């Protein structure tokens, strides 16, 4: 499941005070999701006690974003069952390693995007992901085939 700007916005003060430098709380929410702004930039959220419950919920929600890769990929290893569906369905793996991961076997290349280690998926080489770089494609093959929702993307 993705974290969306609307989810962040719902927990912000929604006063459009502009203390963060943004015109609206919604634009601030988008920038928080895209990691262009930090939650601390919303000073009313930290200074006014009435927002304390929302602040705690936002901190919990955004914790995963801090761990996201350059592509917005978040892997929750606690949820991963190690099924390797994400590794096998990756179109980059199928093209770069057709007789290994592309055929449902272990990797035969040294630098896959994802690999199963100790029973959980690990990000090895994110630069090969179709979502990486300026010509990126918003591929979600790994997330769509994860039965335990261990793979998410930040979507701003």
Domains of the chain: 5-67 (1.10.15.40), 73-153 (3.30.70.20)
Q: For residue 39, which of 51, 52, 24, 28 has the smallest C-alpha distance?
A: 28
Question: In a structure prediction context, what are the per-residue pLDDT tens digits for the chain, which is 156 residues long?
Answer: 567 889 999 999 999 999 999 999 999 999 988 778 999 999 999 999 999 999 999 998 887 677 777 777 888 889 999 999 999 999 999 999 999 988 888 889 999 999 999 999 999 998 999 988 888 888 899 999 999 999 988 765
Four-residue CA torsion sign, 102, 108, 112, 114: positive
The helix-helix angle for 25-33 and 52-66 (nearest 10°) equals 30
Question: In this structure, are residues 22 and 37 in contact, taking their beta carbons and an 8 Å threshold?
Answer: yes
């Amino acid at each position: 499941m993705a974290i969306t700007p609307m989810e962040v916005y719902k927990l912000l003060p929604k006063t459009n005070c502009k203390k963060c430098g943004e015109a609206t709380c919604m634009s601030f929410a988008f920038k928080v999701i895209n990691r262009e702004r930090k939650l601390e930039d919303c000073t009313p959220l930290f200074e006014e006690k009435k927002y304390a419950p929302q602040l705690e919920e936002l901190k919990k929600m955004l914790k995963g974003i801090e761990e996201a890769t350059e592509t917005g990929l978040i892997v929750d290893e606690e949820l991963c069952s190690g099924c390797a569906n994400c590794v096998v369905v990756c179109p980059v793996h199928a093209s770069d390693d057709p007789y290994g991961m592309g055929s449902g076997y272990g990797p035969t290349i040294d630098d896959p995007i994802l690999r199963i280690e100790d029973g959980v998926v690990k990000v090895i080489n994110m630069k090969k992901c179709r979502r990486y770089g300026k010509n990126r494609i918003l591929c979600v093959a790994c997330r769509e085939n994860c039965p335990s929702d261990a793979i998410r993307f930040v979507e701003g």
